Amino acid sequence: MKVLITGFDPFGGESINPALEAVMALPDKIDTIEVIKLEIPTVFGKSLAKIKAAIELHQPDIVISVGQAGGRFGITPERIAINVDDARIKDNEGNEPVDVKVADHGPAAYFSNLPIKAMTQAMIKAGIPASVSNSAGTFVCNHVMYGVLHMIHTEFPTIRGGFIHVPYIPAQVTAKPNMPSMSQTDITKGLALCIQAAATHTEDLHIAAGAIC
C-alpha cells in the first residue's frame, strides 16, 4: 500500500505552513503503508501538475492533500470539492482567479472517496480535536482537492483521494489574539491516524468520489 500525501508551501504572508511541517514530519512507513511526502506550491495549476507527476511516478493507492485553514479548532477531513476557483487573495505567483472553473468540462462537485468519518473518529478517539468539514473553500486547497478527484475520475480510477485541513500551529498565532492553534506534533499524529484509517476502512464510501452534475 502506497499513500502520497502533499503539503503546501507557506502563503498569505505566513513564514510557515503547518500542513507542510506536519506532512514532512510523518514517518516513511506507517505499519505496512509506504508514505510518500510531497511539497507542492500554493499556486493554481502548478500544484496539480506536480501532484499528477508524482502519481505517475509513484503509482500510489491513495492521495491525500493537506492544507492550512487558519481559524479552525481541529483537523478537518473535507467531504466535498466544488468546480470553482474564486481567490480571496493572490496565490504565490500572483494569480487571483475569480469565478473560474477548475475543470472546464468537469461536474459541479466531487465527493471525497476517503473514509472521512472513520478518519475523524480515529483522531477523536486519540484525543485530537477533529470533525468533518463540508467546505474546502475556493482557494488553492479546493482547487487541488477537486483537481485530484477529477484526475481520479478521468485518468486514475483505482486511486482513492481527498483533502484534510489543519489549524494554525502556536508559533503562527502569537500575534493573532484568540485564534485557535494545535501543536505540529498533534497534527502529524492526526495525519498518521488518517492514513491508517484511509488504508483500512471502507464502510462510509457509499458515495465514493461521486460527482455532482
Only one residue has cell 487571483, namely: 96
**What angle is formed at CA 187 by the lines to CA 143 and CA 120, rounded to 5 degrees?**
75
**What angle is formed at CA 111 by the lines to CA 106 and CA 114, rounded to 5 degrees?**
130
Burial class (CB in 10 A: 0-12, 13-18, 19+), 99: exposed
Across 78-213, the runs of DSSP E, i.e. the strands, are 80-82, 109-111, 160-166, 211-212
**What angle is formed at CA 30 by the lines to CA 34 and CA 205, rounded to 5 degrees?**
80
C-alpha cell at 124: 477523536
Q: Dihedrals φ, ψ of 39, to 5°?
A: -85, 135
Residues in the chain: 213
The residues carrying an active-site annotation are 78, 141, 165
Please report, for residues 77, 95, 140, the alpha-carbon distance to residue 136 in angstroms, rounded to integers and kept in the order given.
9, 19, 9
